[in-house]
């Protein structure tokens, strides 16, 4: 077990060690990654670091002490509300990221329902099967039963199924703009009508698309309405640290008016430390992320965001056309923006084996399941690698097609088994064991040279339990 050094180390030596530790991390600077990082360019990053540093120690826990941070938050929320066609009654808060912006509406609408209905039952929320996993986490944390509505063939939620799933226990409807796996916007206009008919709140999870879709629309491209133009929409979440190109972690959560948001506040008037009030989940809220979010939005401006949107969608179109042109591949559904999945239409092509071959060529590839596919999330940096990516993808597909054994080797076999295994509880148990090991004092650091993805290790353990050979 590592202990605090007896004597402090030299600053230069510490920074050198930190750089060495990061040498094995995914290198997003070469734009060979398709998730996790929204990197605009080095100049913008340097600017964000400076803005963040100006408020590095400030704490938004107390807006009276740090009025500057409250100003940043208020103005970011105001700009976001305007972006989503909200009026002067729209209110909201900055959060630490998309997960907090998904957790809080569940808490808020649960408590709002309790205040109005005297709930003597477990509340339920109806969500698409494609909803982000953060909503599943929220349901578990706050004791709300999650009811999944199926998707139609275009991967958007089936609105009639949603209607039929509503009952007296329903407290919330949720739609995505867009969904993470498929990049499609759910039929929010139709969900809005249902929400109004049943007097239910409707939250739009635009964590991914909130700071891109409006600028795609401003550039003249048709985008399905998903915001406060629809009267049934009561709240929206949108991450500034994604396509808003702010520093992590910064997300917005806005409500149509205070009658909803007031149920999000935590207040304790009897704490010995004094009367305590908090608007969101966190107590201490880092001032740096507030400052960097405000700075990013002012630095880019509407024209900067529109230009980024144009470039991103141009690259997206080029990638999708290139993928469709490869024999044996197709795009899932009709994505509304720069996030999409693609899959194999040729039974001789195992899509996970294609992913393995791409990773062997230096790409960091994300897998999705139900249906099985690979995943892309485009940023401006990808403009310089489109040709190389498509060339490597075509070569990988041809190699997998001509070598069927690749489907039963390496991680392809394991990912395939994980996706198809009917005993989902077994997967959960194995993941729990892996998490316990990963976060135990002895196992918190990866082994030297150990680059096996977590899901590959889990699949290997399950296969061993079934007595199958792991290649």
How far apart CA 265 and CA 277 sit, in angstroms, is 7
Choose among 157, 208, 207: nearest CA to 186.
157
End residue of a domain, out of 241, 270, 297 = 297
End residue of a domain, out of 250, 279, 297 = 297
Residue 427 resides in a domain: yes
Residue 85 resides in a domain: yes
Q: What is the DSSP string of 337-361?
A: SSEEEEEE-STT--HHHHHHHHHHT
CATH number, domain at 207? Answer: 3.40.640.10
Residue 291 resides in a domain: yes
End residue of a domain, out of 248, 277, 297 = 297
Residue 73 resides in a domain: yes
Domain of residue 272 covers 51-297
Dihedral over Cα of 144, 150, 155, 159: its sign:
negative
**Residue 24 pLDDT:** 78
Token readout for 233 is 């929409």
Task: Sort 330 into a burial class: Cβ within 10 Å, 0-12 / 13-18 / 19+.
Answer: middle
Long-range pairs for 187-193: beta carbons < 8 A, 24 or more residues apart:
187/156, 187/157, 187/159, 187/224, 188/224, 188/225, 188/226, 188/230, 188/233, 189/224, 189/225, 189/230, 190/159, 191/157, 191/159, 191/162, 191/232, 192/230, 192/231, 192/232, 192/233, 193/232
**Residue 449 pLDDT:** 44
Q: Measured between alpha carbons, how far apart are the two ends of the chain, in Å? A: 33
Number of compact structural domains in the chain:
2
Spacing of C-alpha 349 from chain mean position: 29
How far apart CA 242 and CA 245 sit, in angstroms, is 6
Residue 403 resides in a domain: no
**Residue 276 pLDDT:** 84
CB of 151 closer than 8 Å to CB of 179: no
Mean pLDDT, each 10-residue run in order, the chain (471 residues): 83 90 78 80 93 90 85 95 96 95 97 86 95 96 97 97 97 97 97 98 97 97 97 98 94 96 90 86 90 96 97 96 97 95 95 93 90 94 93 96 80 59 63 65 51 55 52 42
Residue 34 resides in a domain: no
List the alpha helices (DSSP H) in 84-183: 98-117, 133-142, 159-165
Token readout for 373 is 């596919």
Which residue reads 């972690």 in tokens? 249
CB of 410 closer than 8 Å to CB of 379: no
């Amino acid at each position: 077990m590592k202990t605090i050094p007896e004597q402090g180390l030299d600053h230069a030596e510490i920074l050198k060690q930190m750089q060495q530790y990061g040498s094995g991390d995914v290198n997003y600077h070469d734009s060979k990654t398709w998730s996790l990082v929204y990197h605009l360019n080095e100049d913008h990053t340097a600017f964000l670091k400076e803005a963040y540093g100006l408020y590095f120690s400030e704490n938004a826990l107390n807006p009276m002490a740090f009025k500057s941070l409250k100003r940043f938050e208020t103005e970011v929320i105001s700009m976001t509300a305007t972006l989503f066609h909200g009026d002067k009654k729209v209110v909201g808060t900055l959060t630490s990221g998309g997960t907090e912006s998904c957790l809080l509406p569940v808490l808020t609408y649960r408590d709002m329902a309790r205040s109005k209905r005297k709930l003597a039952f477990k509340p339920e929320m109806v969500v698409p099967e494609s909803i982000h996993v953060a909503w599943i986490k929220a349901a578990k944390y706050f004791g709300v039963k999650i009811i999944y509505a199926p998707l139609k063939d275009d991967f958007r939620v089936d609105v009639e199924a949603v209607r039929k799933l509503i009952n007296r226990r329903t407290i919330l409807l949720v739609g995505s703009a867009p969904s993470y796996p498929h990049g499609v916007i759910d039929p929010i206009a139709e969900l809005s009508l249902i929400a109004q008919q049943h007097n239910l709140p409707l939250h739009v999870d635009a964590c991914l698309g909130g700071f891109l879709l409006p600028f795609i629309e401003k550039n003249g491209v048709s985008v399905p309405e998903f915001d406060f133009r629809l009267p049934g929409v009561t709240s929206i979440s949108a991450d500034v640290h994604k396509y808003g190109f702010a520093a992590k972690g910064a997300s917005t959560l806005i409500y149509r008016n205070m009658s909803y948001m007031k149920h999000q506040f935590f207040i304790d008037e009897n704490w010995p430390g004094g009367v305590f009030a908090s608007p969101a989940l966190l107590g201490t809220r880092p001032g740096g992320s507030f400052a960097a979010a405000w700075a990013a939005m002012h630095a880019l401006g509407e024209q900067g965001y529109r230009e980024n949107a144009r470039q991103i969608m141009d690259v997206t179109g080029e990638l999708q056309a290139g993928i469709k042109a490869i024999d044996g591949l197709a795009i899932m559904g009709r994505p509304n923006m720069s996030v999409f999945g693609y899959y194999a239409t040729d039974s001789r092509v195992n899509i996970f084996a294609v992913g393995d071959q791409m990773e062997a060529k230096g790409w960091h590839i994300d897998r999705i399941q139900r249906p099985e596919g690979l995943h892309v999330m485009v940023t401006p940096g990808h403009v310089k690698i489109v040709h190389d990516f498509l060339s490597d993808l075509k070569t990988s597909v041809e190699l997998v097609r001509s070598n069927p054994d690749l489907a039963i080797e390496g991680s392809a076999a394991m990912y395939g088994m994980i996706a198809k295994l009917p005993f989902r509880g077994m997967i959960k148990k194995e993941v729990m064991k892996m998490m316990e090991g990963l976060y135990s004092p002895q196992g918190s650091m990866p082994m030297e040279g150990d680059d096996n993805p977590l899901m590959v290790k889990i699949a290997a353990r399950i296969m061993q339990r079934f007595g199958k050979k792991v290649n």
